[in-house]
Structure 1
């Protein structure tokens, strides 16, 4: 039977192909924690935590220190009873990325044990999904070069980071639009605007005849009134990201009528809360996208299988591994740009 024998944590560091700049943050590398669950029958399951101090207040050093605690809590548990294990791991609400990694590693081990892919365990709704590609904050020339490159590679959903300079952001959107007509755009301010700046931004873009499919996290995470203000003034759908970490956050956002979309990230919520958020948002007749932090292909694999399994998402922002220097691809899916295909 598939009882958990041991849980091991391993630190993996990955460099970005080039520095990744979003509002208030520039990263040249990520420190991710690989989780390996070994069953008594020798089967292994893998997950990955990509901690974010900016979003979750997590540091990789703290996550690594949790290894003996996790072992103590789930050693000897049957992976086929994964919801029981999820309930135990839900106690790590202050460490959502490690919660996601452990929960996924349990599913991965169970998947290997019974010979069914994780996405089918989660419902098997889709056989492939389409990811976007992200343009970080940089000079106008660099943004244009990136947009041209991504469009030529076949990406038809382009995510554009804004939030540090309103005038430059508007110029960048207009320039990118001119060379990528036919693409869909997700614009992410990462909490960089005031509510009034956000409304000015979307109105200026709308006047230029440019359509934004999702306007993501325009204001500070705790400014729910500000988010609602933008939503009711915006001609484009507004999404919460940093404001929507847990299922409780999402319920409040819906109650306050502050959003059109929720961006689920497994690194913010774990698998268990993410499953709840899908049902909560669907029940409210709102929309979903799925995003990522700094996961490698091992971590992106988790979100790919979650998205394929649930079939819940209009947009998939799962491109972090495409930005990293990796020696080995570790996803249980195929890349056929811009698609991720089940195997």
Structure 2
């Protein structure tokens, strides 16, 4: 069994094609980290993390420092002992989710590449195409209309609309998207921007316009599980827990308190192995599953798509992060379908 001989990290700056605003702030570029793991037989694995302080609680500088410190945990260990390595990473660096996601992905990628299997096979299936939605950020209604129309032209049948700053503007944005994309399935993501009462007001106003929503994602503060449950009781639209769920223990609490209909699993919050555990908890509790992403390149996005293909139980897929970049780390096709392949997650960064 080959040992890991080197772990390294570098910054990965990824300008966006357009500014991306959510209720938690505006991004003009993704300031990510790229991790490389090398085994003694010369195999290289790659992982990416996207630290966003309002979401992950990390700065990039902190993520870089964590990865460098993680070398003591990873180097000299058999790559096949990836579960023990990941468990030790998570316990040694609690809360450093972007950094440990990047390292974990690189280790799993190296393991799979050594054995010439796809990452999806660790989770139950060979690779298959994964279709994503497209996100409309917080923009004026007219701009939202233009972006929705462009997305439809590119073949997107599922759109996610960011909300959570101003209720009137939120409703106008949804109406504009529906006008431009009358056949598209719509989701709304408030990124913790509302109270339960505001969630109910929004849902009522949108319903009065005859608009069906597939779900409302994380309407209230991440820590307010009681408020999330209250929002769920107040509206008929399915409620999704996102920032509330980072760990399997978080998912169990959401289940016990009846706080959501859907759980949004993100590798950028949980890492691949814990994400699979969260998916199992949700499935066992008869909750629906969504997968989301940060503003990541094909490295992070394809890792997530492999989890989708492997588990095969995600009803909602929001893996458009690399579609929002001015330039990806590899050449990728435009449009809603990720054609993933192995070995590993199949991506070798060219920049």
The TM-score range, normalised by the shorter chain, is over 0.9
Gap change, CA 1:276 and 1:129, over 3 Å in 2: same
CA distance, structure 2, for counterparts of residue 208 and residue 63 of structure 1: 45
Corresponding position: 1:18 with 2:18: yes
Where 2:304 maps in the other structure, the secondary structure is helix
- Using the TM superposition, give the Cα deviation of residue 69 of structure 1 relative to its aligned residue in structure 2, in angstroms: 2.2
Gap change, CA 1:288 and 1:171, over 3 Å in 2: same
- Using the TM superposition, give the Cα deviation of residue 176 of structure 1 relative to its aligned residue in structure 2, in angstroms: 1.3
Corresponding position: 1:337 with 2:338: no
Mapped contact 2:297–2:328 kept (Cα < 8 A): no
Bigger shift: 121-130 or 19-28? 121-130
Mapped contact 2:32–2:48 kept (Cα < 8 A): yes
Where 2:339 maps in the other structure, the secondary structure is strand
Bigger shift: 40-49 or 70-79? 70-79
Give the root-mean-square deviation of aligned CA atoms. 1.5
CA distance, structure 1, for counterparts of residue 285 and residue 330 of structure 2: 38
Query: What aligned pairs does 1:102-117 form with structure 2 within 5 A after superposition?
Result: 102-117=103-118
Query: What aligned pairs does 1:1-343 form with structure 2 within 5 A after superposition?
Result: 1-91=1-91, 92-124=93-125, 127-326=128-327, 328-329=329-330, 335=333, 337-343=335-341
Superposed CA offset, 1:24-56 (max 9, x none): 301111211101000111110000011110012
CA distance, structure 2, for counterparts of residue 23 and residue 149 of structure 1: 23
Mapped contact 1:35–1:105 kept (Cα < 8 A): yes
CA distance, structure 2, for counterparts of residue 80 and residue 170 of structure 1: 50
Gap change, CA 1:4 and 1:161, over 3 Å in 2: same
Which segments of structure 1 move beyond 6 Å, counting only runs of 4 or more?
none
- Using the TM superposition, give the Cα deviation of residue 84 of structure 1 relative to its aligned residue in structure 2, in angstroms: 1.9
CA distance, structure 1, for counterparts of residue 203 and residue 127 of structure 2: 33
CA distance, structure 2, for counterparts of residue 226 and residue 89 of structure 1: 32
TM-score of the pair, normalised by structure 1: 0.95
TM-score of the pair, normalised by structure 2: 0.93
Superposed CA offset, 1:144-176 (max 9, x none): 000100011100000000111111211221221
CA distance, structure 1, for counterparts of residue 273 and residue 66 of structure 2: 19
CA distance, structure 2, for counterparts of residue 87 and residue 258 of structure 1: 28
CA distance, structure 1, for counterparts of residue 68 and residue 290 of structure 2: 34
Q: Which runs of 5+ in 2 are unaligned?
A: 342-351
Where 2:98 maps in the other structure, the secondary structure is helix
Where 1:21 maps in the other structure, the secondary structure is strand
Where 1:269 maps in the other structure, the secondary structure is helix
CA distance, structure 2, for counterparts of residue 194 and residue 303 of structure 1: 30
CA distance, structure 1, for counterparts of residue 216 and residue 88 of structure 2: 35
Mapped contact 1:33–1:48 kept (Cα < 8 A): yes
Gap change, CA 1:147 and 1:336, over 3 Å in 2: closer
Q: Which runs of 5+ in 1 are unaligned?
A: none
CA distance, structure 2, for counterparts of residue 219 and residue 247 of structure 1: 20
Equivalent residue pairs, number: 340
